[in-house]
């Protein structure tokens, strides 16, 4: 926070200096006169805001906008807010002219725009320098598959890397029914299945550009958007999670003995801020990756067992990847803080590959969930019936909601109306 405030202060002073320099040099004189003539048509100004106050406004606006730009991760949305602020500044000048006060908006407009654009350029420059430092050779597939139970890194990250907070997408992938397998199979067989799963899934995530934070008995933790910044980290993570779970499912249905494993696979996907920092432990160097996304992704992965889904997304991932997905809401899960509740979504298909029938059934399911939450049982049951797929198609989340609603809908049907 202190570093962001200091950077914002420097950017604010720089932006103010640039605007003041342009004003003193006369570069802004012509557009300022044009604006003055336009405002004078409304009313004759008897007072005007002095240059000193103009510079104060420029500095405050540049400082505030720069600080918001540095601390937020949603700069596209902030850009819309800044555009509204620019319109409001022009509106303030017009209102002042009605009260015979001349407020020249151009310096404030320029300071606000510089306060937004300069931090973006600064962050891009820092990110470029960081990527140059973090760039390193990638582990070979043999190295990944040879040690599936230890933490496997995407690259050999040097200790000239610095700790940083960045928005990433974490994917936790694990064998769906591993506890049942552990009871049914011999230890050697279970170990072989787990080893094949870890080797196959780790290599798949690595090829997709993910950083493998860990791979072992608790599944695989893959992080997209690190060490190289990637704005499409949520989209890539969701695509790979869907493709991987589908590949395991198809392998099971085909009955191929040479498939990666005969077990199903679940995945949880969560996006958010994580702290990535190089650490040393007993002389061994590694990367510390800590943050809420990994914990939530693990919970989402486990929740698949209850809902019967294969992949579940958190709300931030759904927001970032919704343009490429046809997805549906499933339920709410508690977060790391028990007072928090996170809505989880199940991806149905990629948007470019979705059929009209899939979209129609998704919409019916979505309506059913909304009506279910409003306790309109009969209407919800009708919508879920409309969400049914072709005969023989298994849809476990839909069946779960239908099982919940059947006794409620039956009770409403058999209850006589009050006279």
- The region, left, alpha or beta by phi > 0 then psi within -120 to 50, assigned to residue 375 is left
pLDDT reported for residue 142: 40
CATH of residue 150's domain is 3.30.70.1230
Claim to verify: residue 341 and residue 380 sit in the same structural domain: no
Does one domain contain both 391 and 243? no
Dist. CA 114–CA 120, nearest whole Å: 10
If asked whether residues 65 and 157 sit together in one domain, one would say no
CA 365 from chain centre, in angstroms, equals 24
User: CA–CA separation, 330 vs 333, rounded Å?
Assistant: 10
Query: Which among 75, 109, 132 is the end of a domain?
Result: 132
- Of 276, 202, 275, nearest to 240 (Cα)? 202
- Angle value at C-alpha 306, between 300 and 309, nearest 5 degrees: 65
Residues 269 and 376 in one domain: no
Residues β-bridged to residue 216: 219
Residues 368 and 339 in one domain: no
What three-state secondary structure class fits 286? Answer: strand
If asked whether residues 296 and 413 sit together in one domain, one would say no
Boundary-marking domain end, from 106, 132, 158: 132
Containing structural domain, residue 8: 2-132
Residue 236: CB atoms within 10 Å? 19
Judgement on whether residues 160 and 205 belong to the same structural domain of the protein: yes
Statement to judge: residues 116 and 165 lie in one domain:
no
| pTM score of the predicted model | 0.61
**pLDDT in tens for each of the 419 residues of the chain?**
455 677 778 887 888 788 778 777 777 667 766 776 666 655 555 677 777 787 788 888 888 888 788 777 667 778 888 888 888 887 887 777 777 777 777 788 887 888 888 888 877 776 666 555 444 444 434 443 444 433 334 444 444 457 788 999 999 999 988 888 888 888 888 888 889 999 999 999 999 999 999 998 889 999 999 888 889 999 999 999 999 999 888 876 666 544 444 568 999 999 999 988 888 777 677 778 888 999 999 999 999 999 999 999 999 999 999 999 999 999 998 876 767 889 999 999 999 999 999 999 999 999 999 999 999 998 999 999 999 988 878 899 999 999 999 887 666 665 554 44
Residues 251, 224 share a domain? yes
Q: Are residues 76 and 127 in the same domain?
A: yes
Q: Are residues 208 and 285 in the same domain?
A: yes
Distance of CA 127 to the CA centre of its chain: 19
- CA–CA distances in Å: residue 164 to residues 94, 275, 289, 332: 45, 6, 10, 30
Region class of 209: left (phi > 0), else alpha (psi between -120 and 50), else beta: left
In this prediction, residue 159 carries a pLDDT of: 42
CA–CA distance, 136 with 223 (Å, rounded to integer)? 17
Domain boundary residue among 107, 132, 157?
Answer: 132
Q: Residues 6 or more apart from 113 whose CB is under 8 A from it? A: 82, 86
Structural domain tally of the chain? 3
């Amino acid at each position: 926070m202190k570093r962001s405030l200091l950077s914002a202060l420097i950017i604010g002073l720089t932006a103010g200096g640039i605007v003041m320099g342009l004003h003193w040099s006369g570069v802004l004189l012509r557009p300022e006169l044009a604006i003055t003539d336009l405002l004078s048509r409304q009313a004759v100004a008897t007072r005007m805001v002095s240059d000193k106050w103009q510079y104060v406004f420029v500095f405050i606006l540049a400082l505030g906008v720069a600080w918001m730009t540095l601390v937020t991760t949603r700069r596209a949305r902030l850009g819309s807010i800044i555009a509204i602020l620019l319109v409001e500044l022009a509106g303030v000048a017009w209102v002042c002219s009605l009260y015979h006060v001349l407020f020249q908006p151009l310096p404030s407009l320029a300071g606000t725009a510089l306060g937004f654009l300069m931090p973006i350029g600064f962050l891009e420059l820092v990110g470029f320098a960081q990527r140059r430092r973090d760039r390193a050779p990638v582990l070979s597939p043999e190295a990944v598959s040879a040690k599936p139970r230890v933490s496997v890194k995407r690259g050999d990250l040097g200790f000239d890397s610095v700790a940083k907070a960045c928005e990433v997408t974490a994917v936790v992938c694990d064998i769906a029914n591993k506890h049942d397998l552990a009871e049914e199979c011999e230890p050697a067989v279970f170990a072989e299945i787990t080893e094949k799963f870890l080797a196959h899934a780790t290599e798949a995530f690595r090829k997709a550009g993910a950083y493998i934070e860990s791979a072992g008995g608790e599944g695989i933790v893959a992080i997209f958007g690190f060490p190289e910044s990637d704005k499409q980290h949520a989209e890539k993570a969701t695509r790979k999670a869907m493709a991987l779970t589908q590949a395991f499912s198809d392998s099971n249905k085909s009955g191929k003995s040479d498939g990666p494993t005969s077990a199903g696979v679940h995945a949880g996907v969560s996006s958010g801020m994580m702290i990535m920092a190089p650490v040393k432990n007993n002389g061994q160097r590694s990367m510390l990756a800590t943050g809420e996304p990994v914990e939530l992704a693990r919970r989402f992965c486990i929740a698949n067992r209850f809902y019967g889904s294969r992949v579940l997304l958190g709300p931030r991932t759904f927001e970032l990847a919704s343009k490429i997905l046809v997805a549906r809401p499933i339920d709410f899960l508690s977060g790391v803080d028990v007072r928090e509740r996170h809505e989880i979504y199940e991806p149905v298909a990629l948007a470019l590959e979705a059929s009209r029938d899939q979209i129609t059934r998704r919409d019916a399911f979505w309506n059913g969930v909304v009506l279910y939450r409003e306790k309109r049982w009969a209407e919800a049951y009708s919508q879920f019936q409309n969400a049914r797929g072709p005969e023989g198609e298994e849809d476990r989340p839909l069946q779960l909601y239908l099982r919940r609603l059947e006794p409620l809908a039956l009770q409403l049907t058999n209850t006589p109306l009050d006279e």
